[in-house]
Amino acid sequence: MVTNLDGNAAREFGALKARAFDYIRPATVAEALAAFAEAEGDASYIAGGQSLVPALALRLQAPARLIDIGHIAALRGIAVEDGWLRLGALTRHVEAHDHPLIAAHAPLLALAAPHVAHPAIRNRGTLGGSVALADPASEFPAMMLAMEAEIEIAGPAGTRRVPAETFFQDLYQTALEPGELLAALHIPVAQPEHRCAFDEIARRRGDYALVGCGIRLALPRDRVEEARIAFLAVGPTPMRARAAETALAGARLDADAIARAQAALAQDLDPPEDSEVPPAMRLHLSRVLLGRLLGRLRGQIAEAA
């Protein structure tokens, strides 16, 4: 431990081997919850581990127990039921990329998936893990907002469903209480009038984006009935751009409406202070990206007409 003379601890360098922990691999959700309770809070669930393992290696986190939920059958599966697409928490990123049900019913996930890290990460990382971590710069959490998803949470008192809107609370803070497990994602299936677009601006392929955006427009005829716009990397949580959505609602998707939506982003977004990427730059890039995505949708609509 390193301190200054006042006894204040400072950051340490050098660790890339995790502290010791014990490892449990439960077969059911109930066993997993019990294993967590038994550890008296000093435990972490691990699924794909693509974000957790580096944090453990750097000793930024050091739970006494790791509970591997990667083999719990109830957390798997991709199915459509009653107008909802249910994605088990263990659904891998690569499935968002490939699975026909996801392409058909949650196209924003399929559009975002190629931008998530790199192929080998996508082979292992899970959608549940990504949403539970709630990294504001990640693609999938923001898409939960754009798709009006609900998050199924399993806990000692049973399961509950929380709308994405209230799930993401603050930087890395979600509606998950200690010991609770993200069990599944429920996404209302895409409607025929939905038009979706996703893109992001990143310095290198697979990097955390400077800004990213997913859009779902309900556009039954020539006017936008409803717009859902979600941004990543522009605030402490995934961010919905409500003022921009309002600017589009009821409007034709023309240059004026797009410009109004772009202008409205100042009310919606709260980019973090960052010496490398100043807030004004993220806001600027958000406007550029929104304009390009809406322009792309406008082009698609014109082509279809």
Partner 1 sequence: MSAPLHVTLTVNGETLSRLIEPRETLADFLRRDLGLTGTHTGCEMGVCGACLVLLDGVPVHACLIFAVQAAGANIATVEGLTESAAVTDLQRAFHERNALQCGFCTPGMLIAAQGLLDRTPMPSRAEIRDALSGNYCRCTGYEAIVDAIETVARKRAAGEAAPRFAEEPA
Partner 2 sequence: MNAPLGSLDRPNSYIGRAVTRPNAKRLLVGRGRYVTDLTLPRMLHAAFLRSPYAHARIASIDAEAARAMPGVRLVATGADLAKLCAPWVGTLDHFTGMKSAPQWPLPLEEVLWSGQAVVAVVADTRAQAEDAVEAVLVAFEELPVVADIDAAREAGANRAAAGIEDNLCFRSRLDTGGIDAIFAGAAHVVEEEFHFGRHTAVTLEPRAILADWDASEGKLTVHHATQTPYQFQDLYSRHYGIPEASVRVIAPDIGGSFGMKLHVYHEDMAVIGLSLLCRRPVKYVADRMESFVSDIHARDHRVRARMAVDAGGTILAMDVDDVTAIGAFSAYPRTSAVEGNQVIRLMGAPYGFRNYRAELAVVFQNKVQTSQYRAVGHPIACTVTERLIDMAAVRAGLDPAAMREKNLIPDDAYPCSSPTGYRFEALSHQASLAKLKALMDYDGLRAEQAALRARGVYRGIGLAAFVEISNPSPAFYGIGGARISAQDGATLSITPSGEVRCLISVTEQGQGTETIIGQIVADQLGVAREKVRVVTGDTETTPHGGATWACRGAGIGGETALQAARRLRDNVLALAAAILQARPGDLDLRDGLIVDALSGAERIRLAEVARIAYFRSDTLPPDASAQLSITHHYAPQGYPFAFTNGIQGCHVELDVETGLVKILKHWVVEDCGRIINPLLVDEQVRGGVVQGLGAAFFEECRYDAGGQLTNGSLADYLVPMAGEMPDIVVGHIETPTADTALGAKGCGEAGTAAAAAAALNAVNDAMAPFGASIAQIPMTPARLLKSFGKI
* Contact range with partner 2 by CB under 8 A, out of 16-24, 35-43, 120-128, 140-148: 16-24
Angle (nearest 5°) at CA 80 between 296 and 212: 30
Decide if residue 119 touches partner 1 (CB under 8 A).
Answer: yes
The size of the interface with partner 1 (CB under 8 A), counted in residues, is 34
Helix H or strand E encompassing 29: helix 29-38
β-bridge pairing 173-174 and 158-163: unpaired
Q: Does 203 bind partner 2 (CB under 8 A)?
A: yes
Of 66 and 258, which CB lies nearer to partner 1 in the complex structure? 66
Residue 156's nearest CA partner among 27, 37, 65, 28 is: 37
Distances (CA, A) of 82 to 78, 183, 187, 188: 14, 18, 11, 9
235 vs 157: CA distance, rounded Å? 32
CB of 244 to partner 2, least distance (A): 18
Residue 297 Cβ vs partner 1, minimum distance, rounded to whole Å: 24
Query: Is there binding between residue 25 and partner 1 (CB under 8 A)?
Result: yes
Which regions of 120-189 does DSSP assign to beta strands (E)?
Answer: 150-155, 158-163, 168-170, 173-174, 181-188
Residue of 10, 13, 204, 303 interacting with partner 1 (CB under 8 A): 204
- Contacting partner 2 (CB under 8 A), which of 94, 201, 249, 301? 201
| Sole binder of partner 2 in the list 69, 285, 293, 294 (CB under 8 A) | 285
Residue 287 corresponds to which tokens in the numbers above? 């406007």
Site string for partner 2, 26-45 (x = CB under 8 A): --------------------
Strands 150-155 and 84-88: unpaired
The most distant pair of C-alpha atoms in the chain lies apart, rounded to whole Å, by: 72
Read off the tokens for 73: 């059958």
Q: What does 33-44 look like in DSSP terms, one character per residue?
A: HHHHHHTTT-EE
Letters for 38-67 (x = contact with partner 1 by CB under 8 A, - = none) are: --------x--xx--xx-xxx-----xxx-
Least distance in Å: CB of 59 to partner 2? 8
Residue with tokens 């891998």: 92
Query: Looking at 140-148, 198-206, 229-237, 246-254, which segment touches partner 2 (CB under 8 A)?
Result: 198-206
Binding mask 44-83 for partner 2 (x = CB under 8 A): --------------xx------------------------
- For partner 1, the binding residues (CB under 8 A) are 16-23, 25, 46, 49-50, 53-54, 56-58, 64-66, 68, 70, 94, 114, 117-121, 123-124, 204-206
